[in-house]
Amino acid sequence: MSGAYNFAYLDEQTKRMLRRALLKAVAIPGYQVPFASRDMPLPYGWGTGGIQVTAAVLGQDDVLKVIDQGADDTTNAVSIRAFFRKTAGVATTERTAEATVIQTRHRIPERPLHAGQILVFQVPIPEPLRFLEPRERETRRMHGLADYGAMHVKLYEDVARMGRITTSFAYPVKVAGRYVMDPSPIPKFDNPKLHDCPALQLFGAGREKRVYAIPPHTTVESLDFEDHPFEVQRWDRPCGLCGSTDSYLDEVVTDDQGGRLFCCSDTDFCRERRDRMDEGR
Amino acid sequence: MGRIAAGLADPVHDAQMQFRDLLWAMSRPGSVVVLRGGLPAPPEPLVPAAYALLLGLVDGESPVWLDGDHPDASRSIRFHTGASMVAEPGQAAFAVVTRASGLLPLERFAQGSHDYPDRSCTVILQVDHLAAGAGLKLRGPGIAGTARLEIGGAPEGLVPGLQANRRRFPLGVDLVLAAGRSIACLPRSTDVEA
Amino acid sequence: MYVAVKGGERAIRNAHRWLAEERRGDPDLPELDPAQLREQLALGCDRVMNEGSLYDPDLAALALKQARGDTVEAAFLLRAFRTTLPRLLSSVPVETAGMRVTRRVSATFKDIPGGQILGPTFDYTHRLLDETLGGTDAEIAPAAVAEQPVDPVVPRVLDILDADGMIQPEPAAAEGEPTDLTREPLLFPVGRDAWLQNLARGDEGFVFALGYSTQRGFGSTHPFVGELRVGTVDLVVEPEELGFPIVIGEVELTECEMVNQFLGSKTEPPQFTRGYGLVFGHQERKAMGMALVDRALRNAADGQEQRGPAMDQEFVLYHSDNVQASGFVEHLKLPHYVDFQGELETIRRMREAAAREEGGE
């Protein structure tokens, strides 16, 4: 652990500011709390919000897991894990079951989370209405009045033009019946995991300076229509490595002859299944 | 002037653990948590949990209101945190109600605005004891089904006050109940039934 | 069996070693000392200090060396260092009327009290490559020293206009600490203190281009350079426990005051208005761009019709920061295959549905 910096990099005043914001985020589920995001030693857009949230909650006894695209070994996950090993000296793991704090970009682990865990999402654009209305003053007003008509119109235009809702990731949700929230760019496959989750879910957007939260066991509904209910991605084949039929699959191009391999994006989930298959043999 | 009580023995790690305990309690309304780490002997009339949470959470950017003239508490908090003490409850980011009988109408504290409901007060209410599993019936985010919380020495009118607070959602205040070393939370999102 | 790519940690380590090798370049050539950059690439260091939001020429030079001359990357290095520094106290407002000027020009008057001082400027140089700089230790003829020294206090040109009531008076400074965007989030509508700080930290190219756009009709400014001055000022603090001011150092600044015509309103007579730019070091383009955008934002805040992006607070202030911009644009290099897979699946299903419909017809 390097001596020049405080535990987990951030100074205590910054942590207090973040902690106060996180408490309000939990008390108002799905509402984006502005916070005084700091310049971090990693680039904006690469997880500065997630890193600040993780630094604000992390303690010496925590076991940290960091994933990007569901994988522990993607370069940015490796880099963020190394950052906290160096600045906080905490234990790290690749095993979802063993982690107490999991920082993620773009996925929710396949293995159900438990109450002792905190899931920290890295968020690029926290405002679900941003692509309908670029002005913050306007989107704030819309949230204040729960004026979400424009969002339904946008989704319905999809249905009218394409016969389905074409949003496949960062699919908007309504939290505890009040705020419409961006779940970060997770595939909509992961949306059902947000609902009634036993773990606390925290979201950090560094560049946009917002944090928000879903407390455990909170109702989270993906926006849809009676005649076009929300549905998740599915694949016509199982994982080529572990045989799972209910996990999110990556498509890996294996040659230039059109060869493809479909395998779990959650590398720990896939490994665990393969280990069990080996034991069974 | 008042006497200055001791601060956190390990400001980094005690504050972190106690924040995590508070985060647990705030995200699971009605659950009773005993704060971990070192809790310094509080100045009169604060209980250990209330004092420790203030030491770990407030600073020059978060004004504090106390329910009356408590020179020891006021001086200790100012000395250790740099927080300003305000006389108007509506200006406080954190308020401490030390005597259960002294709870103000909750709408006297900052409620936030429709654009910024987070600009609202966190009220620490000192009570005699807290126990989960009996008492008030709670529902809402953070609760699987129903939870129950018994508050010993709750001020009169607390339940209707909390119900009115719930109706103002997303505006409102968030309550942290403190008894000795224990805390429990009732954020504005919780439905409370006697 | 297929094995996914592994070894991120080792690859990253090696990439960083390679970067260090490239930074050094040909080892047969002498290595640069940051002090050389500070002295000989001083304007580059000034830009790094502005966008890095920290006045420290030595660290700016080090950052510029570490970033291989990439000023945006160097500003990022400086920001990430700055963010860890304790905030001890705020200085009292700097008094630019007391600036020890090295350069000072006004376009609004032929001559001004204190005189026009050209100083070390590129203006009026012919941009011809100078081959004598190609070697080392080129002989330089020293500049002549003026017979009459510059006045110790050079009055600001706009104060002269102000005395005649010809320019809109500046509102008195707000009570208390000014906004600090590094400690508070940007919340709209923002006040002038916050937007000036934002512009001073903003990307030079972005701020300058926005200023330029206001001259071409995307905004409503018709500016004159009331005054542009460069020089050093004292930095004064007044700690509460001391009760009196003390000088803790000096900084080099560039200040630009633009003058704009204002035809008057129901409540105000016709007069001139101003736009203000103040930046670290010798950064004329940045200070002028800032002054133009400041005016455009004030016009918008005063309720004038929005005529271009420079008048749009959210557009300007959300997109001026190049550390934020480069991070977010460059994050597109990170893996996005999970979301891409989701889109692939959606497009395939839509194509299948379309093909079925066609087949059915």
Count the neighbouring beta carbons within 10 Å of the beta carbon of residue C160: 18
Q: What is the DSSP letter of A178?
A: T
**Quick one: pLDDT band at residue A2, thresholds 50, 70, 90?**
very low
Residues of A in contact with B27 (CB under 8 A): 26, 200, 213, 215-216
On whether both C258 and C348 belong to a single domain, the answer is: no
Residues of A in contact with C341 (CB under 8 A): 187, 233, 248-251, 265
- Strand A260-264 and strand B94-97: the pairing is unpaired
Per-residue pLDDT, C2: 54
On whether both C111 and C15 belong to a single domain, the answer is: no
Positions of A annotated as catalytic residues are 30, 239, 242, 264, 270
- Please provide the DSSP assignment of C128-194 as one string: ---GGGGSSS---PPPPPPSSPPPSS---HHHHHHHTT-BPPPPPPPSSPPP-TTTS---SSPPHHH
Of A4-8, A106-110, C22-26, the poorest mean pLDDT is in A4-8
**Mean pLDDT, chain C, as a whole number?**
90
- Please provide the DSSP assignment of C19-77 as one string: HHHHHH--TTSPPPPHHHHHHHSHHHHHHHHHHHT---HHHHHHHHHHTTT-HHHHHHH
**Residue in C226, C234, C250, C198 with CA at minimum distance from that of residue C98:** C234
Residues 57-116 of B with CB under 8 A from A: 57-59, 61-62, 93, 113-116
**Quick one: pLDDT band at residue A279, thresholds 50, 70, 90?**
confident
Whether pTM > 0.80 for this model: the answer is: yes
Range of the domain at C355: 331-360
- What's the number of domains chain C is made of? 3
Whole-angstrom distance between the N-terminal and C-terminal Cα of chain A? 43
Choose which CATH entry (1.20.58.100, 3.40.50.11310, 3.40.50.300, 2.40.33.10) describes domain A12-222: 3.40.50.11310
What are the sequence ranges of the domains in chain B? 11-193
Q: What is the dihedral of CA B64, B69, B71, B73, to 10 degrees?
A: -40
CB contact under 8 A, A233 and C184: no
- Strand B122-126 and strand B94-97: the pairing is parallel
Per-residue pLDDT, C320: 97
pLDDT tens-place string over residues C67-84: 999 999 999 999 999 998
**Quick one: pLDDT band at residue A190, thresholds 50, 70, 90?**
very high
What are the sequence ranges of the domains in chain A? 12-222, 234-281
Residues paired with C235 in a beta bridge: C249
- Tokens 């659950």 -> residue: B31
Task: Please list, in sequence order, all residues whose beta carbon lies within 8 angstroms of the beta carbon of residue A87, skipping any fewer than 6 positions away.
Answer: A1, A2, A5, A7, A8, A9, A55
d(CA A71, CA B30): 36
CB contact under 8 A, A11 and C86: yes
d(CA B44, CA C317): 48
**A122 vs C261: which has the higher pLDDT:** A122
Residues of A in contact with B28 (CB under 8 A): 215-216
Contact A241, C1 (CB under 8 A): yes
**C148 vs B101: which has the higher pLDDT:** C148
What average pLDDT does the segment A97-102 reach? 98
Q: Which CATH class, in words, describes the domain spanning B11-193? A: alpha beta
Residue A218: closest CA among chain B residues belongs to which residue?
B141
Residue A1 has pLDDT above 80, yes or no: no
Contact status of B6 with chain A (Cβ, < 8 Å): no
Contact status of B118 with chain A (Cβ, < 8 Å): yes
What average pLDDT does the segment C216-239 reach? 90
Residue C170 has pLDDT above 90, yes or no: no
Dihedral sign computed on CA atoms, order A188, A190, A192, A196:
negative
* C137 in a structural domain: no
Count the neighbouring beta carbons within 10 Å of the beta carbon of residue A181: 25
pLDDT tens-place string over residues A158-173: 888 888 888 999 999 9
* C127 in a structural domain: no
Element (H, E) at C273: strand C271-280
pLDDT tens-place string over residues B3-41: 899 999 999 999 999 999 999 999 999 999 999 999 999
pLDDT tens-place string over residues C281-297: 999 999 999 999 999 99
d(CA A176, CA A194): 11
CB contact under 8 A, A178 and B170: yes
Per-residue pLDDT, C7: 61
pLDDT tens-place string over residues B36-89: 999 999 999 999 999 999 999 999 999 999 999 999 999 999 999 999 999 999
pLDDT tens-place string over residues B142-184: 999 999 999 999 998 999 999 999 999 999 999 999 999 999 9
pLDDT tens-place string over residues C98-133: 999 999 999 988 888 888 999 999 998 889 998 888
Q: Which of A10, A75, A110 to mutate to test the interface with C (most CBs of C within 10 A)?
A: A75
On whether both C197 and C305 belong to a single domain, the answer is: yes
On whether both C73 and C109 belong to a single domain, the answer is: no
Q: Which two tokens stand for residue C204?
A: 């030079």
Q: Which two tokens stand for residue A152?
A: 């339904």
On whether both C68 and C115 belong to a single domain, the answer is: no
What average pLDDT does the segment A82-94 reach? 95
Per-residue pLDDT, C5: 55
Say whether the peptide bond before residue B45 is cis (omega within 30 degrees of 0): yes
